[in-house]
Amino acid sequence: MAIGRRSFLQGAGALGLLAVMPRTRLLELITASASSGAPGHFLDAHQLDTLRAVTYRFIPGPLDQPGPLNSPPETDPGAREGHCAEAVDILLNAFSFDPPMIHAGGPFSNRAGAGHDDFADFVPLDAHAALGWRIRIEGSKGIPEREFAGPVQGLQAIYVSGLAELDRRSQSAYGAGFAAVSGAQQDAILLEAANNPGDSLNTFVATALAQTLDAMYGPPEYGGNHGLAGWQYTHFEGDVQPRGWTDAEVSQPASGGSILGTAAGRDAIRFFASMRGRPASRERPWLALAGFNRG
Amino acid sequence: MAMAKPSVIIVGSGAGGSVAAWALATAGHPVVVFEKGRNLLPGLGGPGPIGSLFGNDILKESRSFEDQDPVLEPRSLRSQSDAHNGVARSFVGDVNDLPTVVGGGTIHWDAKTPRFWRQDFKGLSLYGPVPGANVADWPLTYDDLAPFYDEVERHLGVQGDVGRMPAHTLAQAPRAHQFVMPPNPPMYAGLLLGAGAARLGYTAYPFPMAVNSTAYGGRPRCNSCGFCSGYGCPINARGGAAVSFLHDAIRAGAELRPRSFVHRIDMASADRAAGVSYLDANGNHRSERADIVILAASAIETARLLLLSANSDHPAGIGNHSGQLGHNLMFHFFTLAGALFNEEIHATRGPSSTMTIDDFVGPARPPEAAAAGLPYVKGGICETGGTLGYGQEIGIYASAFPAGGGGHKQLMRQSALRRHATGISMVGEDMPQIDNRVDLDPQLHDVYGFAIPRITHSAHRFELVASEHYGPMLRAICDASPGIIPGASTYVPVGTLAELSGPGSPLYGLATTAHIMGTARMGDDPASSVADAFGRLHDVSNVFVGDGAVFVSSGGFNPTNTIMALSLRMARSIAGVVAASTAAASLPNTAQPASPSGPAVVAAAATVAALGAAGRRRSRRAREPGDD
């Protein structure tokens, strides 16, 4: 759409002015930007609000309309509280930070006994790695150095065009932009795209889902999982180095509850049973993976 | 003697390359190691402890931190029938990518170090041909390799307990020594499955692995953080090519050149290499000269480099007068079984799995094999008692709920697969086939401008029948384990996971593993093999293959320990320390007395086997009451 395209160009201009930002300033910005109406690091205010609405459907929280599969009342934080859209927006402009916010540092955060948060010191990319991530994020943009294997659509373009298309479909079906329609209506748009591999929004939905989940459940240094929102309700201890686990914690039963007869147990058994598939074709076991890419 | 020892170029700093670098640098050879990737281990080769930029970080693991970046260096893939029908490729991207950093695949390996068995080296003699497969004997025996296994395991730092290994294991893979470290604390889920296995008459025992259970080699003890297979070790408690071998090689004088991509072997004459051409870290074209060139870039990249180096004397690629170069590519396809347990069993705590079962290595001759026209089937060793990590759990739930609705969150909140599930994954032996191969993609180039490797692969019915044969047995162990929710078990035969889990699923990594073998098989006959029993190309007197490319069969075992042992044997032949038949004869300055290896090792192994039964009883009582 024209508006989306113009906003994209404005965003790119702002990007140049921001140059490189120190980490402390970044954290302030992440916190500050977790409310609607303000532009992000790459997305403009409307795009970011639209992306927020998408992430809230992927991981609904207490303030969001419940989905049919998370029974109300939802008391655990969701993508809103975890700042997932804000973290995706950071990835889309990762190169405005120095080092780029691609790979957190190591070996330890300060959550399990270490004095310094190494994760916050992102690992610099060398020229080779930077080229790969420039292509992945910005696309090949007709630059010969990036088009050795043909043109590549980058994440930025996937998001800009995908968010615009969401608005277009929402306007067409419900008479309002995506962020303004009901959760059920948003779910319907997303689900249709997700279930149809040929749908022009399919790549966007798959990408946004994967990166929302990364943001919610990854280390908070990447800008998401705000307040460790994602780790608490999933019973995940997070990064445990350098403390690790004691011999007893490894070899003895845990004190956690049993699941037999609970809703969790029933869901788990049902999901587990669904993993029993028919053997893939002998000839092309990987075909279902077309497009699969670890990056 | 004052004469300089032959200089050596090594291409690749992974399992094969680093072991060779260590053996040759410590023997006084000038060594230069080329590595296409960067170094993520600060202090490697320096005077102090080795650092690590890795952490318990699921995002870095999924963002090509240590892996080859498929955006820059894609590979193409097709099936045998695609090839037959003239289809150039049906997929482009990440195809069996391994870490492309200093240390290679061992940077995030599971570090399981079983040895191949006697029968793996003599499959054709012992069990005969398999229709449609290119079965052959190796040009060496288990006993030839045993002393090198011993030395590799000692330097790598391998834990285990000979006393708990079954008699059939020690008969097939005799051991001269106890492991240098005792086993890690056993993971609880592995104890449960071990109990299930025992009820059915099978034996679960501590999986030999290159993980420090005590401080060893200047590196600390493992603290069971659980981010093991697929993750770089934050504390270097896990042994590997870089931390166990390359570190010492550099300190002995070897030079490491990271981000240097070797794209051509330069020839001095038809049967001698002069050195290599490469792109340095700044993209400049450079060359290096040496007396000997060792290729250890992984089975795919080593074959690709030999093919890229074609010239008028070697029009089909260097070392390819047999026509076998690139062929007989083998993977391992895992068969999985899993179960849900009522209580929380936290199978994420520990080095991925601590127990193994090797009762399904085979061969077996079930009716379904005969029905498929197969003389026998074989399975493999089993990783027992692990589960999905956090990142994998997120991915598999997303495959069920690809959009909104709250379903994904609900499953994450319950986190049943991570907290209540465990299972068994069986390494499946993959038959060598002529038509499974690596060649150069006729159209596509990588970021450096060189033809990318194209993989053509289809499973043989051997693997599929074996998986269906052994899968129910693995599931039966789950069903017999204490605490299982009755009926909540399943097995997933080869090929299934890729299909059901859909695009982007982390389970793809379980279904098609990063175990890559073949493409430059060794043999005594230059007409049917690429390299000799010491890895030297039949066609070129000073080029050696020191990685999994030389494998003749894939065995049912994690291959890295065998890659390392073969590389050490190759390096010692170059250094003139092993009676290398023809291997050392035409190399300059390598004529030195050989050391005998065979008979003494066999005798020692027999002693260990005899001691095994008593030791097994003793240690089982002492360590793992739940396992009886």
Q: Which residues of B touch A295 (CB under 8 A)?
A: 62-64, 69-71, 94
**Averaged pLDDT for residues B511-534:** 91
Amino acid at B545: V
Contact A222 B59 (CB under 8 A): yes
Of residues B96 and A145, the one with the higher pLDDT is: A145
In the predicted model, what is the mean pLDDT of chain A?
83
Beta carbons of A288 and B499 less than 8 Å apart: yes
User: What are residue B278's DSSP bridge partners?
Assistant: B262, B286
Checking if the pLDDT of A166 tops 90, the result is: yes
Q: What is the pLDDT of residues B599-618, one digit of tens each?
A: 333 222 222 222 222 322 22
Band of pLDDT at residue B16, cut at 50, 70 and 90: very high
Pairing mode of beta strands B292-295, B543-545: parallel
- Note the pLDDT tens digit of each residue in B30-64: 999 999 999 999 999 999 999 999 999 999 988 98
pLDDT tens digits, one per residue of A74-127: 899 999 999 999 999 999 999 999 999 999 999 999 999 999 999 999 999 999
pLDDT tens digit sequence for B142-167: 999 999 999 999 999 999 999 999 99
Alpha helices in B117-166 (DSSP H): 123-127, 142-156
Whole-angstrom distance, CA of residue B571 vs CA of residue B592 = 14
Tell me the chain A residues in contact with residue B53 when contact means C-beta distances shorter than 8 Å: 105-107, 123
Cβ contact (<8 Å) for B416 and A244? no
Point out the residue among B52, B185, B394 whose CB comes nearest to the CB of A217.
Answer: B394
Helix (H) or strand (E) holding B261: strand B261-269
The answer to whether residue B444 neighbours chain A at the CB level (below 8 Å) is yes
Which of A287-291, B195-199, B461-465 is modeled with the greatest confidence?
B195-199
Q: To the nearest whole angstrom, how far is the Cα of A256 from the nearest Cα of chain B?
A: 6
pLDDT, residue A265, reads 84
How far is Cα B133 from Cα B434, in angstroms, rounded to an integer?
A: 7
The CA distance from B624 to B169, in Å, is 20
The whole-angstrom distance between A285's CA and the closest CA on chain B is 5
Chain A touched by B57 (CB under 8 Å):
yes
Cβ atoms B520, B411 nearer than 8 A: no
- Round the average pLDDT of chain B to a whole number and report it: 88
Give the one of A70, A191, A249 whose C-beta lies nearest to B349's C-beta: A249
pLDDT value of residue A9: 25
Considering only alpha carbons, which residue of chain A is nearest residue B390? A236
Q: Does B443 touch chain A (CB under 8 A)?
A: no
Taking only the tens place, the pLDDT of each residue in B586-602 is 444 333 333 333 333 32
Q: Is residue A188 left, alpha or beta, with left meaning phi > 0 and alpha meaning psi from -120 to 50? A: alpha
Cβ pair B188:A251 closer than 8 A: yes
What's the 3-state SS for chain A? CHHHHHHHHHHHHHHHHHCCECHHHHHHHHHHCCCCCCCCCCCCHHHHHHHHHHHHHHCCCCCCCCCCCCCCCCCCCCHHHHCHHHHHHHHHCHHHECCCCCCCCCCCCCCCCCCCCHHHCCCCCCHHHHHHHHHHHHCCCCCHHHCECECCCCHHHHHHHHHHHHHHHHHHHHCCCHHHCCHHHHHHHHHHHHHCCCCCCHHHHHHHHHHHHHHHHCCHHHCCCHHHHHHHHCCCCCCCCCCCCCHHHHHCCCCCCCCCCCHHHHHHHHHHHHCCCCCCCCCCCCHHHCCCCCC
Q: Kindly tell me if the per-residue pLDDT of A55 is higher than 80.
A: yes
B367 touches chain A (CB under 8 A): no
Question: Which chain A residue lies closest to B82 (C-alpha atoms)?
Answer: A283
Write out chain B residues lying below 8 Å of A209, CB-based. Answer: 398, 402-403
Interface A:B, Cβ pairs < 8 A = 361
Chain B partners of A211 at a C-beta cutoff of 8 Å? none
pLDDT at A32 over 80: no
Contacts with A245 from chain B: Cβ below 8 Å = 223-226, 349-350
Chain B closest-CA separation from residue A98 CA (Å)? 17
Confidence (pLDDT) at A260? 84
How far, in Å, are A174, A235, B392, B413, B443 from residue B69 at the CA level? 42, 32, 20, 33, 19
> What's the gap in Å between the CA of A141 and the closest CA on chain B?
15
Contacts of A213 in chain B (CB under 8 A): 394, 398, 408
pLDDT tier for residue B396 given thresholds of 50, 70 and 90: confident
DSSP annotation of B164 reads G
**CB–CB contact A295 B71 (8 Å):** yes
Q: Is the pLDDT of residue B502 over 60?
A: no
Chain A touched by B593 (CB under 8 Å): no
pLDDT, tens digit (0-9, with 9 covering 90-100), for B550-581: 999 999 999 999 999 999 999 999 998 765 44
Judged against a pLDDT cut of 50, whether residue B98 lies above it is answered with: yes
CB contact under 8 A, B349 and A271: no
The per-residue pLDDT for B77 is 86
CB contact under 8 A, A264 and B416: yes
Taking an 8 Å cut-off on Cβ atoms, the answer to whether A285 and B512 are in contact is yes
pLDDT in tens, B269-328: 999 999 999 999 999 999 999 999 999 999 999 999 999 999 999 999 999 999 999 999
Q: Give, as one character, the DSSP assignment of residue B433.
A: -
Kindly indicate the confidence band of residue A35, based on its pLDDT and cuts at 50, 70 and 90: low
Residue B151's pLDDT is what? 98
Q: Give how far B32 is from chain A: nearest CA, Å.
A: 22
CA of A246: which chain B residue's CA is closest? Answer: B223
Q: Read off the pLDDT of residues A209-267 as tens digits, 9 standing for 90 and up.
A: 999 999 999 999 999 999 999 999 999 999 999 999 999 999 999 877 788 888 888 88
Comparing A24-28, A271-275, B75-79, B199-203, which segment has the lowest mean pLDDT?
Answer: A24-28
Residue B101 pLDDT > 90, yes or no?
yes
The string of pLDDT tens digits covering residues B226-284 is 999 999 999 999 999 999 999 999 999 999 999 999 999 999 999 999 999 999 999 99
CB contact under 8 Å between A193 and B77, yes or no, is no
Q: How far is B579 from chain A (nearest CA, A)?
A: 43
Cβ–Cβ < 8 Å for B400, B411: yes
Judged by a CB distance cut-off of 8 A, whether residue B94 touches chain A is: yes
Sign, CA torsion B435/B439/B444/B448: positive
Contacts of residue B184 in chain A, CB cutoff 8 Å?
250
pLDDT at A120: 97
Query: What residues of chain A lie within 8 A of the CB of B82, using their CB?
Result: 284
What's the pLDDT score for residue B370? Answer: 95
Nearest chain A Cα distance for residue B487, angstroms: 9
CA distance A16 to chain B (A): 25
Q: In what order do the strands lie in the sheet with B382-386?
A: B204-206, B355-357, B382-386, B421-426, B335-341, B484-492
> Considering only CB atoms, which chain B residues are within 8 Å of A288?
498-503
Helix or strand holding residue B623 (H, E): helix B598-623
What is the pLDDT, as a whole number, of residue B557?
A: 98
Q: How far is A164 from chain B (nearest CA, A)?
A: 18
CB contact under 8 Å between A265 and B502, yes or no, is no
- Asked if residues A79 and A212 have their Cβ atoms less than 8 Å apart, the reply is yes
Query: Do B414 and A268 make contact, defined as CB atoms within 8 angstroms?
Result: yes
User: What is the predicted pLDDT for the residue at A291?
Assistant: 29
- Minimal-distance CA residue of chain B relative to A281: B495
- Say if the Cβ atoms of A291 and B503 lie within 8 Å: yes
- Residue in A with minimal Cα distance to B507: A289
CB contact under 8 A, A283 and B79: yes
Q: Please check the confidence at residue A20 and state whether its pLDDT lies above 80.
A: no
Q: Does B502 touch chain A (CB under 8 A)?
A: yes
pLDDT at B513: 64
Q: pLDDT at residue B88 above 80?
A: yes
Question: In B, residues 107-136, which contact A (CB 8 Å cutoff)?
Answer: none
Of A69, A128, A293, the CB nearest to B93: A293
